Structure 1
Amino acid sequence: MARILNSPNYDPEAGAFRNPVPAGIGPQPGAGSRGEMFRALLRRDGRKPAGPIPVQRPDLSAPPADGLRLTWLGHATVLAEIDGRRVLFDPVFGERCSPFSFAGPRRFHRVPLPTGELGPLDAVVISHDHYDHLDMSTVRELRKAVAPDVLFAVPLGVGAHLERWGVPQDRIAELDWNESTEAAGLTLTATPARHFCGRGIRNKQRTLWASWSVRGPEHRVFHSGDTGYFPGFAGIGAEHGPFDAAMVQIGAYSEYWPDIHMTPEEGVRAHLDLRGGVLLPIHWGTFNLAPHRWEEPAERTAAAAAAADVRAAIPRPGEPFEPSAQTLPTTPWWQEIAAPERSPQPGGGRQAPAKPSPATEQ
């Protein structure tokens, strides 16, 4: 608790962590009322796939030829093989991202690689404690079936959840923004994000949220966690980049919460600010969390990346790829299972030009 109270990112008067740039969490002026927001969330048109999502069972038996391989396992969960080490980001393998087993957003597709088949792990990195990024059953399964001694790198305050679930304190590295820890020769650095936290009505803003930089001897990757766009991406890129690949949130956006989730266009802009290398869009295609159509994040990201001359990989869940490869997975597989569009979707968020901030323009 002392580290939290002494954090420069903690406001003791408010009893909460604060964002690098002020952010509203509820409906913003001009976006409509809370009632309109909830009605938008209840609409079903296009919110789920019209058919099964094609899931690939990855074969990771051979190491990546160039030392870096990423496998998107759905939502924000990514397995990164980097310079002979293996890092798992935001693992959520449960059927629902919810405090309840019988209610809450249910996944669209099966988990491509069950926990028992992940293979050895050197670190598990958690961006924040929302249910779609931190899952109790997954944490327990990872320790039991895969890596009982794996290091969990988490933002300040999140370690208390893990300790309650049986993770030893000495296997938890709690970091404030711009702090680092080492794991098997990798440097894991918690970097700022513009979001919020909480797993209940009484603990909002009491734990920190973060994006992450992971640096190996030869490669660097970035994971955004959840975040709204903010100018700090350019600073992260300047200090920790350039990256070989960046895993960037581009889904679950809405005009009702524009400060805490990026639109696809903002995600591409953030990627440019970060000097992110190859873009891997995350936080889409697995759970129904926003009013937009389920496939819209991929469609808009592909268009924005092409317009900005950004190399983007949009793989099927479980489809591994190496960022250095000449050809990346770009087949628009989501189009084949997109439901026919019936009406415009309110609450889907604003469009934004995918251009770098002035700080990164050459």
Structure 2
Amino acid sequence: MRTFGSQSKGERLERLRDLPLWDGERLRNVHPVLPDLRDPNAERPTLREFLCADDGRRPPQPLRSLDPRTTWTRRAASGLRVTWLGHSTALIEIDGYRVLTDPVWGQRASPFRLIGPKRFQPVPVSLRQIPSVDAVVISHDHYDHLDYPTIRALAKSDVPFITSLGVGAHLEAWGIAPERITELVWWQRHRLPGTGLSVTAAPSQHFSGRGLKDRNMTLWSSMVIEGERHRVFFSGDTGLTTEYETIRDRLGPFDLTMLEVGAFHPSWGDIHLGPENALKAHRMLGGGVLMPVHWGTFALSTHDWDQPVETLLEQADPAHTHLLLPRLGEAVEPSERRPAQAWWRESRAVASAPMSGDVQAEDVAEDERMSSQLPWPLD
């Protein structure tokens, strides 16, 4: 079960124990949680409810995507361009450099090959078709952000990894040389040698772990990616926190804000934003261009697959928020301020049979047994 990763030891563990978030046994969120984020009366969905998904949790057919490779051969006119590749995976081209965020090409957000949340949307291009990148940024160690088969493939390259403290133990266990790994704590900045590119870890309100025995033994972070002229904020996974105001003051302003909007539920509203709180977070971060991520690929909660982006489109105030809603695989420049279009509705307009679930009813008991080794919720 190498997909579970490895736990921190030695100097890495000592660094974790030195953090203000360390409670003597593991990390925890210490910033006061805003009231009413989590509904104490809302019951978490059972694993059986989660596994036996209804048709609303996935589109009736795969979403139409674009091939960005021709666009990637040309430099971004503005110096900043982003290509959403699904969920929280994006290729950011910033002032002549390329950064890949939370790369997930695997078929499941799970340690198991045959069970667990299966992607309903393929990646627009294969990992081998991605141009050479200057850095891979990984926010935290959950399966939908840190993907074993993808990391194993990237181990064959020489790309450097920048991630949260503790995640390096997983990377090393999967074949990434230690000298290629930089682990950051909040407010720590790393400048890639010989470049004008830097990455700074910043606070988030979340948790970590890939199994029941390593809960909160690695740090979770948002990330600020900075070139010589542009800055991008990437939320990773997080609940709403007033620390966004501090991030704005210390690391902003941002030319692009990428915030997670999917996999929310009233019972875990303190660790995921959801669309309404993403809009609040965006205001705290200074407004401007908002690109939603963490949707359109995996069914990781019980809401309809398109509810996050539909709510964003309905509630965004144009005076403070310009929504950047690219198709999967569409390379776009935030400075162009393109009008938002509900392109995902095409999948509902085409009559076709609903996609079948990836777990059959007779397999649910076995799925529940094996999934009992995982934290809940999964991300």
Provide TM-score, normalisation by structure 2. 0.83
2:171 is aligned with 1:162: yes
Conserved in 1, the CA contact under 8 Å of 2:136 and 2:162?
Answer: yes
Cα separation, partners in 2 of 1:331 and 1:201, compared to 1, 3 Å: same
Deviation of residue 39 (structure 1)? 3.2
What is the match of residue 362 of structure 2?
Answer: none
Task: Find 2:263's aligned residue among 252, 258, 261.
Answer: 252
State the AA in 2 paired with 1:247.
M
What is the match of residue 286 of structure 2?
Answer: 275
2:90 is aligned with 1:78: yes
2:139 is aligned with 1:127: yes
- Calculate percent identity across the aligned residue pairs: 45
State the AA in 2 paired with 1:288.
A
- Can you list the C-alpha shifts for 1:115-145, whole angstroms capped at 9, x where unaligned? 111111111000100000000111121232x
What is the match of residue 240 of structure 1?
Answer: 251
- Can you list the C-alpha shifts for 1:79-135, whole angstroms capped at 9, x where unaligned? 100000000000001111110111111112211121111111111000100000000
Which whole-Å CA distance do the structure 2 matches of 1:79 and 1:63 have between them? 13
Deviation of residue 33 (structure 1)? 5.7
What is the match of residue 64 of structure 2?
Answer: 54
Which whole-Å CA distance do the structure 2 matches of 1:126 and 1:302 have between them? 28
Which whole-Å CA distance do the structure 2 matches of 1:181 and 1:280 have between them? 24
Deviation of residue 292 (structure 1)? 0.5
- Can you list the C-alpha shifts for 1:187-217, whole angstroms capped at 9, x where unaligned? 2000000000000010000000000011111
Conserved in 2, the CA contact under 8 Å of 1:242 and 1:277?
Answer: no
What is the match of residue 112 of structure 1?
Answer: 124
Conserved in 2, the CA contact under 8 Å of 1:23 and 1:194?
Answer: no
Task: List gaps (5 residues or longer) in structure 1.
Answer: 341-362
Deviation of residue 337 (structure 1)? 1.9
- State how many pairs are aligned: 332
Please give the secondary structure, in 1, of the residue aligned with 2:246.
helix
Conserved in 2, the CA contact under 8 Å of 1:23 and 1:260?
Answer: no
More displaced 10-residue stretch of structure 1: 274-283 or 163-172? 274-283
Conserved in 2, the CA contact under 8 Å of 1:67 and 1:83?
Answer: yes
Task: List gaps (5 residues or longer) in structure 2.
Answer: 1-12, 352-379
Which whole-Å CA distance do the structure 2 matches of 1:221 and 1:274 have between them? 11
Which whole-Å CA distance do the structure 1 matches of 2:66 and 2:249 have between them? 35
Please give the secondary structure, in 2, of the residue aligned with 1:2.
helix
2:41 is aligned with 1:30: yes
Question: Higher helix share goes to which structure?
Answer: 2
Please give the secondary structure, in 2, of the residue aligned with 1:280.
strand
Which whole-Å CA distance do the structure 2 matches of 1:15 and 1:326 have between them? 43
Which whole-Å CA distance do the structure 2 matches of 1:190 and 1:93 have between them? 24
Deviation of residue 280 (structure 1)? 0.6
State the AA in 2 paired with 1:289.
L
Which whole-Å CA distance do the structure 1 matches of 2:338 and 2:27 have between them? 45
What is the match of residue 160 of structure 2?
Answer: 151
Conserved in 2, the CA contact under 8 Å of 1:278 and 1:310?
Answer: yes
What is the match of residue 341 of structure 2?
Answer: 331
Deviation of residue 301 (structure 1)? 1.0
Cα separation, partners in 2 of 1:308 and 1:254, compared to 1, 3 Å: farther
Which whole-Å CA distance do the structure 2 matches of 1:120 and 1:34 have between them? 41
What are the residue-to-residue correspondences of 1:298-309 with 2, within 5 Å?
298-306=309-317, 309=320
State the AA in 1 paired with 2:179.
D
What is the match of residue 346 of structure 1?
Answer: none
